[in-house]
A and B are shown apart, each in its own frame.
Chain A
Amino acid sequence: MAATKQKRTGSKRKGRDSLRALTAAALALPGLMVSSARAAPGDEFSFEYQHYQEGERNLDGQKYRDLNLKPIQVDSLAASMTGHVTDRVNFELGFTQDTWSGATPVTTVPRAAIADQLTSGASRPIEYFTDAGHNPVAVNWSTYDGNSVQYAKDPGLVHIMASASPETRRQVNLSLGYEWDEATLKVGGGASVEHDYRSMFVNTGGSFDFDQKQTTVSYGLSFTHSNIAASLEANTAADWGNYQDKIRITNGQSTLYGNRNDFAANVGLTQILNKNAVLEGSVGFTRSTGYLSNPYKAVMLAFDDPNQFIDSTGLRTVVLQGVLEQRPTSRNQVNADLRYVQYIENTDGSLHLDYRYYDDDWGISAHSLELSWYQPIADGWMIVPGARYYTQTAASFYQPYFLFNQAYPLLGPPRPDVPRRLDFSQLPIDKFSSDERLSGFGTLSGQLAVSKELLHGIRIEFGAEYSSHAGALKLGGRGEGSYADFSSYTVYTALKLDLAARAAALTNASGGDGPGETTDDSGTSERQADAPAGVHFNRMLGRAHGFQMTYRFDYSGWSGSMLHGSKAAGDDEIVADGCPNGICTMTPQHAYTHTYTVDFLYAPTDWMTFDITPQFLDTHLALRDLEGAPLPASGIFHPGGPLPSHSRTTGGLGDTLVTALFGLVTTDEHQLQADVGISVPTGSVSKRLNTSSDFTSYSSQLGSGTWDLHPSLTYTGQMDRWSWGAQLSGVKRLQSRNSAGYALGDAVEATGWTGRNILDWLSVSLRGDYISQGSIKGAYKDHLTPVQTGYDIVDGRPVPTYEYDSTSNAVAGPMDSAASSGGHYWNVGFGLSAVIPDGQLQGNRVSIEWLQPVEVNVNGYQLRRQGTFSMSWSIAF
């Protein structure tokens, strides 16, 4: 086994490790490190979770709650690894995903148009009135006496909000680099995928050092190709005539297809000014061509016909028409950056100053200035306060809405049976956008980050940033009105592992021996085989003050036929029987869940180890209409696809498991371990359907919502090239209801496996598994739904009034029914496990497993489970 192999190659390795130790020690003397002005990235693994949350915008006094809206939020995860393949060849591998949900402005209208919408009962703003002086007014039609009417001036603007259905974007990127003594070269590429936008990109860059690395010249080139396929179903009020050639019907939905190319180049100069200061300047050029508009943003065109008939009230009517925004098809952008870093001798801190200038041929120029202070404190603590100011001018074709002094230009003769069409050729402009991001504004933000180095190159960091976005903050004034102001905050936590520091620390700690043997000393790792990747089992560390981290990823997929018990269920059966107290109209078509967990194991004593496991997940569920069910309200049957109402996506922080691990028996051949875990309900159970007060599917919630007990008993054994094990585990809910009104069922799992080393560093495993998962107890509680009852006239303006009705949660299909949850599952798992034999990652264990369902018996009606892929990576310190 690996241990024997190590002894065999011990002398050779020892020589190499001693050299490495010497090199590491030499590097630890800062004076000997010939630091380039622009240093290559260190070898590091980094994992980060970020939550971005916007505050509510001012919707002219209307509450988000009344409109069933939530401000936008973004939950992001990122993992990246930089390392060296050889002394001169380095790589960088990155993964990012973001889940977006909530409402953002789709366009802007005069407030007077909302007043007219309220009083006329129209479903959307279609017109507004002005007085003879062209001032928008709110009209109190209840005072109309056949001759005159009371009205009040109503200036100002308000956003129309739209809530896109939540979606997850994923991005991977990879680059390879080569380091010469005084030059570097990097080539890379990647892809970013979301349901409506796909990008592929390639890039290259490099640097040349001069004058003993006091001066560095760097350059970069990149190219991105993106494809857009955006469903316009949420934007049906707009006239799409300006994009007719780009719109095709896909899955029964009008979809706008576009593509764009982005080409960027930059060149920079980095200069060490003196032993405490470094300066970098760079300029960049980006050219974008193709479809550069945002398919979800609309523009309001307002037509004030100079020849219109004015009746006895004296009011003028301005007709509104929404259209899709139309930006230029090319954009040339120039950037200039200046970065300055000054070391502060007195405090060992550093001051970072970053100024950026931006200018493009859309008329936007922007400045951003950022200041941050890195201050190390004792014991590996570091605090970083910072501030940022950003300001931009508006694009030349931006206006909150566009007013034309002409009659509505009709396309063709008016026909009563079809909606009127706009003749775009009669508009005096052909570029228009009301995307508030192209307006003039400023942003001021403050941030604070705190980090702490735990041991051997492990750093954990927390940070927060608060940002205020306002037209009044624009440099030189004349920014957008205050209706567009908003604030936002970002919080994040990051874990960073300095792989070189770990290797050096472990080498030093073991007196010149390799890290692999150190993990052997702890009585774990290579001598005792671990469980397959799909088994949540961490062997206790067995050595006081030991530390281990395990990063896990699980993918579970469901698709194919619906099951009732263990048999396939037809649509007619689901329609009639799948929904309690009603008939089902929809059913799941396919679904997946990604789960990312990080186990932090720390042993305060020899006989117990603590394991804290935060969890992050994202879920996706695609629905289809059931054949034989009553037609949906739209009257159109949807066999499936990305229709907003047929897709449910959630993502964010899940529950956090805190476990105590106790070793009951530990011999060379047999080990028995008992774990007692408590699951802390940090995951949300209040995720709701888009623009609705109804809760989403039970399986789309991010946590259990209850405090849960997770006991388990695990036996492992090994002899020669064989290993084996068994685990009995359970989940007991400690509360009968969560805040949403239900509790997930209790669960019991029994699993057993055997593994064999086929190479010194590689083993295979076979596992049998049985899970019994109880069904959900209780159900979603009733909730309050806003209903607009009418309006009151306040200060001459109509203000909508709402009442809240208590309604039971909508059940559209089995995914909304508590009875269709849980079941009995028999699975077989096939796994591979590798122990990295060499390099900085020596002693790390990487395992993968596919768990294939063999027999299932589900409660109620559920999608067939396709299987679960698990990956785990353990790194001991």
Chain B
Amino acid sequence: MNLSKPYLVVLALLLCVCATGCASVAPWERGNMAKPHMALEPDHQRSTMREHIHSSREAASGENAAEGGGCGCN
């Protein structure tokens, strides 16, 4: 593992985004944000079931790697 990898870039990018200041969005301006399809993960169960198939065919595990899922040995 090499620490100069893109995940640090991701963090740095995020910090930059916030440091440069995001437009202030008042609570009453968040109607669009409140729509179900604007959620970061609109359907948790669907994501979990897809992830289970991916993790049994691909080497990269998701962030919930340590939350069950079974062997996936086949």
Shortest Cβ gap from B63 to chain A (Å): 4
Known: A96-B49, A263-B66. A272 touches B10 (CB 8 A): no
The binding surface of chain A is classed by DSSP as: strand
Is A548's CB within 8 Å of the partner chain B? no
- Give Cα A191 to B39, complex, Å: 28
Which positions 357-373 of chain A face chain B at CB distance < 8 Å? 357-362, 364-366, 368
User: Is there contact, CB below 8 Å, between A280 and B40?
Assistant: yes
User: Is there contact, CB below 8 Å, between A494 and B46?
Assistant: yes
Residue of A nearest to B26 (CB): A212
Residue of B nearest to A212 (CB): B27
Contacts of B22 in A (CB 8 A): 214, 271-274
User: Is there contact, CB below 8 Å, between A358 and B61?
Assistant: yes
- Give Cα A494 to B42, complex, Å: 14
User: Is there contact, CB below 8 Å, between A376 and B37?
Assistant: yes
Selected from A35, A37, A190, A274, the residue in CB contact (under 8 A) with B68 is A190
- Give Cα A30 to B45, complex, Å: 25
Residue of B nearest to A338 (CB): B10
Is A295's CB within 8 Å of the partner chain B? yes
Known: A271-B17, A437-B57. A222 touches B37 (CB 8 A): no
Contacts of B26 in A (CB 8 A): 212
The total of Cβ contacts below 8 Å across the A-B interface reads: 245
Which positions 32-56 of chain B face chain A at CB distance < 8 Å? 32-40, 42-46, 48-50, 52-54
- Give Cα A365 to B2, complex, Å: 11
Instruction: Tell me which of B2, B14, B33, B57 has the highest count of chain A C-beta atoms within 10 A of its own C-beta.
Output: B33
Which positions 53-74 of chain B face chain A at CB distance < 8 Å? 53-54, 57-71, 73-74
Contacts of A469 in B (CB 8 A): 57
Shortest Cβ gap from A82 to chain B (Å): 8
User: Is there contact, CB below 8 Å, between A366 and B25?
Assistant: no
Selected from A266, A271, A360, the residue in CB contact (under 8 A) with B14 is A271
Shortest Cβ gap from A160 to chain B (Å): 15
Shortest Cβ gap from B6 to chain A (Å): 5
Is A254's CB within 8 Å of the partner chain B? no
Contacts of B27 in A (CB 8 A): 31-32, 34-35, 212-213
User: Is there contact, CB below 8 Å, between A31 and B28?
Assistant: yes
Per-residue contact bits, chain A 378-417, to B (CB 8 Å; 1 contact, 0 not): 0000100000001010010000000000000000000000
- Give Cα A685 to B65, complex, Å: 37
Known: A214-B25, A278-B33, A296-B73. A266 touches B53 (CB 8 A): no
Shortest Cβ gap from A601 to chain B (Å): 24
Selected from B1, B39, B53, B58, the residue in CB contact (under 8 A) with A437 is B58
The count of chain B contact residues (Cβ–Cβ below 8 Å) is 59
User: Is there contact, CB below 8 Å, between A275 and B33?
Assistant: yes
Selected from B30, B31, B53, B61, the residue in CB contact (under 8 A) with A286 is B61
- Give Cα A365 to B39, complex, Å: 28
Contacts of B37 in A (CB 8 A): 349-350, 374, 376, 382
User: Is there contact, CB below 8 Å, between B59 and A48?
Assistant: no
User: Is there contact, CB below 8 Å, between B63 and A335?
Assistant: yes
- Give Cα A604 to B48, complex, Å: 36
Contacts of B18 in A (CB 8 A): 215, 269, 271
- Give Cα A370 to B15, complex, Å: 23
Per-residue contact bits, chain A 24-58, to B (CB 8 Å; 1 contact, 0 not): 00000011111101110110001010101000000
Contacts of B70 in A (CB 8 A): 98, 169, 171, 192, 194, 197, 199
Selected from A203, A357, A438, the residue in CB contact (under 8 A) with B5 is A357
Is A149's CB within 8 Å of the partner chain B? no
Residue of A nearest to B24 (CB): A214
- Give Cα A37 to B17, complex, Å: 15
Contacts of A199 in B (CB 8 A): 68-70
Known: A78-B49, A278-B38, A492-B49. A31 touches B29 (CB 8 A): yes
Is A276's CB within 8 Å of the partner chain B? yes
User: Is there contact, CB below 8 Å, between A494 and B30?
Assistant: no
Interface of B with A (CB < 8 Å)?
1-2, 5-8, 10-11, 13-14, 17-18, 22-40, 42-46, 48-50, 52-54, 57-71, 73-74
Q: Which 4 A-B pairs have the closest CB atoms?
A: A336-B7, A30-B31, A358-B60, A366-B60
13 A-B residue pairings within 8 Å (CB atoms): A31-B28, A41-B44, A48-B45, A80-B44, A80-B45, A196-B73, A199-B69, A211-B24, A214-B25, A333-B65, A336-B6, A469-B57, A490-B53
